[in-house]
Structures are given as structure tokens and as C-alpha cells.
Amino acid sequence: RKEVEQDPGPFNVPEGATVAFNCTYSNSASQSFFWYRQDCRKEPKLLMSVYSSGNEDGRFTAQLNRASQYISLLIRDSKLSDSATYLCVVGAGQGGADGLTFGKGTHLIIQP
Amino acid sequence: DTAVSQTPKYLVTQMGNDKSIKCEQNLGHDTMYWYKQDSKKFLKIMFSYNNKELIINETVPNRFSPKSPDKAHLNLHINSLELGDSAVYFCASSHFVGYEQYFGPGTRLTVT
């Protein structure tokens, strides 16, 4: 199974700041991309899908760069409640037929 | 109206025992998964079923046997439990393979 790599952090960021994470993937045939969020002792929850043209959901913006094989997540005006582990997820194989591969996550701590 | 549910939430047992974890989804999804998240928080896929058929079977000891009686259920039976089996086991489902997945709350297994 091909890898998905993320900086584990932790990223310590003051409340209200903007923070960005990158994630690289090794399988050039990957077709689907997501960011998940996991709170301590909870299940992963879908934050947003990542589309080729980039997409935005409120304070969150995701970008995909197929040429360099990385995806990014930008969080603006960060809130205390944004503290969590952010998982980069890539659909392996053509059309994601081999299922999803999860990165090990980036730990974000928003400080008051 | 929980989307993906798992039972039990906690499971404490001794080495050598056999135990089962149950998972049910009411989302009408075709694909279900079992993941293991170890103490280092790495989320690793174990099995995937699509329409009751096994489609992903990662390198998992054959003491682990998944069973899917219907599309909405995927159970995990573990024989001869070992200390290294202690982890959180997550069930997930998706509409199709490679699409965004929705996770159950997890089963925290402790083997003593």
C-alpha cells in the first residue's frame, strides 16, 4: 500500500491565527482526497473532500496539487475548538478502488 | 438514529480468549471496513467488504475473521487474543469503495 505522509506536529497556534498543513502522497493514480478530523478518544470525522479545483468550507480551504502530489488544508481565524488531529486521506488506486489510505495525522493545538 | 454503531464500546479480556465486535450502519452504504488504531494513533485498514463480499484483506493474522451477514452489518471475531491486539477498533462505511467514509465510535479492546 502506498504511503501518505504528514508532519505529525504538534502545531501550537494562537487563537485567531491562520494555520496550514500539507500532506504528500506517493501513488500518482490516486483519485480521491479528503481531510478528516479526529478528536482525542473519538472516531475520525470527515472534515471535507478535496477537489481538483480546490474548495472552501467556511474557515477551511483545501487544495490539491496533482503535479507535486500534495494536498493542503488552510484554517483561517482558528478557534480553540479546532484543536484536534487532522488526517490526510487518499483514495488509493484508480477511482479509489483500493480503498482509502490514512496519513498518521497532524496534531493541532490552538492556544488562547 | 446513529449512522454507524459498534458494540461493545469497551472490551477488557484475558489473553487466549475469543471475542466479537459488532458493527451496524443505517446509511444504506454498500461498503464497510474494519480499522485498527494502535497506541501510536496510526489508523490502519484491516478488512473491507462490498455488498457482503471481502474486497480488501490486509496483512492481518488469521485469528481475525470478519463476517458480513448483510450489507448493513460487519462483525469482527478475534480468536486467541494476544496482548498486541489491544487497540481501538473502528468500523466504517462508505457508499462505494474509495468514497468518503463514516466511522463508528470505536471499540476499545484491552487484553490483559
pLDDT tens digits, residue range A34-53? 999 999 999 999 999 998 88
Instruction: Write the pLDDT tens digit of every residue in A88-101.
Output: 999 875 544 567 88
Work out the number of other CB atoms within 10 angstroms of the CB of residue A71.
Answer: 27
Nearest CA in chain A to B55: A98
Q: Is the pLDDT of residue B94 over 70?
A: yes
At a CB cut-off of 8 Å and minimum separation 6, what does B6 contact?
B21, B22, B23, B24, B89, B90, B91, B104, B105, B106, B107
**pLDDT value for A93:** 57
Q: Does B104 touch chain A (CB under 8 A)?
A: yes
% residues pLDDT > 90 (chain A):
77
Instruction: Write the pLDDT tens digit of every residue in B6-51.
Output: 999 999 999 999 999 999 999 999 999 999 998 887 888 898 888 8
List chain B residues with CB under 8 Å of A105. Answer: 41
Q: Nearest CA of chain A to the CA of B25: how many Å?
A: 15
